[in-house]
Amino acid sequence: MIFSTLFSAVAFPEIDPVIFQIGPFAIRWYALAYVAGLIIGWQMMMRFARAEGSRISAKQVDDFLVWATLGVILGGRLGYVLFYKPDYYFSAPAEIFMVWQGGMSFHGGFLGVVLATILYCRQQKIAILDFGDLLATVVPIGLFFGRIANFINGELYGRTTDVPWGMVFPEGGDMPRHPSQLYEAFLEGAVLFILLIIFRRTRFAEKQGFIMGMFFAGYAVARSIVELFREPDAYLGFLIGGLTMGQLLSLPMLVIGLYFMFRSAPKTA
C-alpha cells in the first residue's frame, strides 16, 4: 500500500471494499470479517471445550455455531435499525434486509448472541454461566476482524486531529482524523482477548460468570474510551450529558459485567 502525505497526515489506503465480484455476486471484506470471526472463535471454543476439566463438550460448541451466527446477524442488524436509524428504516422497511449495504450494531449483535445463548443452553440443559465464560473469551476475535473491516470500508472514522498518524478518510473531508477503527480493533479486540486468556489461567476462571463479566465490563470500558476519539454519528451527535450512543449503550454492559464479576462463585460439580 502506498500512503501519501497531506496536511501532515497520511491518506487513507485505497483498499476496495469488494474483494471480487462476478456479475451481481460480490464478496466483501466486511462479510469476510464476520466469517473469519465466527470460524476462528468457534475453533478456539472447540479447543477450550476439549481441554481437561471443561464442563462444556466440543459437540455442544459445534452445535451452537448456527445459533451464534443467527444471533450476530439478526441482532446486529436490528440493533442498528432500532438504536441508530429507526426513523429512516421505518420509512423504508425494505432496506432493513439489505445488510450488504452495511449497518450493524455491536450492542445489537451482543443482545442477539445473549438471547441465542440463553435459548440454546436451556434447550441443551447447559449451565448458562459456564457456557457464557467460554463464549466471552472468543468474542474479541470477531470484534478485531469487524473493526478492521470498518477501517477498510472507511466508515466509523474518528474526530479531526493533528496527531502524526491522523488519516484523511474519503468520506471524512480534507482534515486528518483519528483512525478510531484501529483503536477499537486494538482495545476491544487484541487487548481484551489477551486479558481474558490470561485470566482464564488464574483462579478467577474457577468462578462461574467471572470471565463473562470481565468481557462485558472490559468491552464497555474500551468502547467508552475509543468513543472519545470517534466521530459521533451525524444523525445522532452527542446525547445526554455529551455522551455518544456507544457510551450510553456501554453503561449497562459495565454495570452487568461488574455484577457478574463480584457475585461470581466457585463452580460446583
Please report where in the chains the cell 442498528 appears, as a residue.
Answer: 80
Average pLDDT over residues 120-149: 93
pLDDT of 230 > 80? The answer is yes
Distance CA 177, CA 179 (A): 6
pLDDT, greater one: 180 or 265: 180
Q: What would the pLDDT profile of 42-84 be if each residue is shown by its tens digit?
A: 999 999 999 877 889 999 999 999 999 898 888 888 877 777 7
Average pLDDT over residues 239-244: 84
Joined together, the cell numbers standing for residue 122 give: 436451556
pLDDT of 263 > 70? The answer is yes
- Domain of 262? 5-266
Give the model's pLDDT for residue 53: 78
Residue 101's pLDDT band (cuts 50, 70, 90): low
Structurally, how many domains does the chain consist of?
1
Beta strand pairing call for 9-11 and 5-6: antiparallel
Percent of the chain exceeding pLDDT 70 equals 91
* Eight-state DSSP code of residue 34: H
Residues forming the annotated binding site?
147
Give the model's pLDDT for residue 62: 93
Distance CA 112, CA 125 (A): 20
Q: Please say whether the beta carbons of 116 and 190 come within 8 A.
A: no
pLDDT, greater one: 23 or 186: 186
pLDDT, greater one: 263 or 24: 263
Please report where in the chains the cell 440493533 appears, as a residue.
Answer: 79
Q: Please say whether the beta carbons of 198 and 211 come within 8 A.
A: no
Q: Who contacts 137 (Cβ-Cβ below 8 Å, separation ≥6)?
A: 44, 45, 48, 193, 196, 197, 200, 211, 215
